[in-house]
Structure 1
Amino acid sequence: MGIKEFSKEEKQDILHLAVCKLLTPYGYFKFEKVDEDGWPHWIELKAIKNLSGKQQDLLIKEAIIAYFS
């Protein structure tokens, strides 16, 4: 099987999925469904863009630590 190559767009999609998964417990996203291609979809409940860049960074770091704890 080996290492799969991803396009730039696919990499961006994967990072977006990670953010959605990480921020779901914080009330920013709610899981909706898995589409016919196997990609999960979330509904945005609160806009993370309303936070400052620093607040976003801290929230993501906290969520990563919580996810792996």
Structure 2
Amino acid sequence: MTTVRARSEDGPWRPVRLSPLPPAAPASAGPFCASPERDGLQVRFTRFAQGPADVALHLAH
């Protein structure tokens, strides 16, 4: 499972997308952002990191 998080200014990081991805699947990834509502969206990516699975996303709440 691939998890994408985003935040605005100094707000909290929030999950914005979970995507199933088989472990053996050939894939590449990188930051991308688009707005379906208007032209002129400006986004600044400050960090891109890959790490182990976030098990907290799969715990019962």
TM-score of the aligned structures, taking structure 2 as reference length: 0.28
Query: Which has the larger share of helix?
Result: 1
**Normalised TM-score (structure 1):** 0.26
